[in-house]
Amino acid sequence: MSTPQAWPYPRYCAHRGAGSLAPENTLAALRLGHAHGYRMVEIDAKLSADGVAFLLHDATLDRTTNARGRADARTWRELALLDAGAWHSPPYVGEPLATLAAVARFSLANATAVNIEINPTPGRERETGAAVALDAAALWSEGGVPPLLSSFSAEALAAARDAVPELPRAWLCEYPEDDWTAVCQSLDCRAVDINYTLLDRGLVDRAHAAGLAVATWTVNDPAQAREFARWGVDTIITDAVDLIDPSAC
């Protein structure tokens, strides 16, 4: 695996917009992360019943909206009517779900890089990977830093690679037994995005030697974030946008 181009993404990235301070994966969360100085955001994208890419982490609507059931069982017209803020706190009552298209508009207008986690509803891995990649390529075609596509699903990332090979990809690695170097090579990834509990300096060095950037999630302790930065971790994803200064090296 050859050494990648210079990593174009910021050191610090706001998890799901602004972590727990606002309803995750909403435009309100993106705005709050931006207000805290963050110029990169991590979001989760999946498909509605009619193929619209929108933001939601879970496979169901139960936890973060006022509806229940599979997230991909409703059309975007139906999903757009849901309340995605009331679960969080009264100030966000009425906050809607967001489309990937709306995120792209925010990103380009506010010079904010985006890590799109392709998070398909089970059974729609290939369809979601290809659709999100194609949408991302079109939405960011006018400029800006291209979005980074990541996923725990090798099938979704492979579909994204086949659909739009030029978009950078990262393999999300949660378990120590994962052979992340082999998976990254097979999917032609630019980065490994690894659970922070698995990180040590040797792993960071091995990844860099293999030509991979290193991202990590979800780091909420400022001292630990500073340590990871000293190790050369390329992007640190955090909920603690109010505690971790994104301008720090």
Q: Which residues are catalytic?
A: 15, 57
SS (H, E, C) 154-207: HHHHHHHHHHCCCCCEEEEECCCCCCHHHHHHHCCCCEEEEEHHHCCHHHHHHH
Closest CA to 147 of 210, 19, 53: 53
Between CA 63 and CA 150 the distance in angstroms is: 23
**Kind of pairing between the strands at 53-55 and 40-47:** antiparallel
Query: Please, what is the Cα angle at 176 between 158 and 47, to 5 degrees?
Result: 35
Give the CA count within 13 Å in the CB-facing half-sphere of 160.
36
The neighbouring-strand residues paired with 170 are 150, 191
Q: Give the Å distances, CA to CA, from 223 to 40, 124, 139, 226, 230.
A: 20, 39, 37, 5, 11
Q: Tell me the two tokens of residue 72.
A: 């991909």
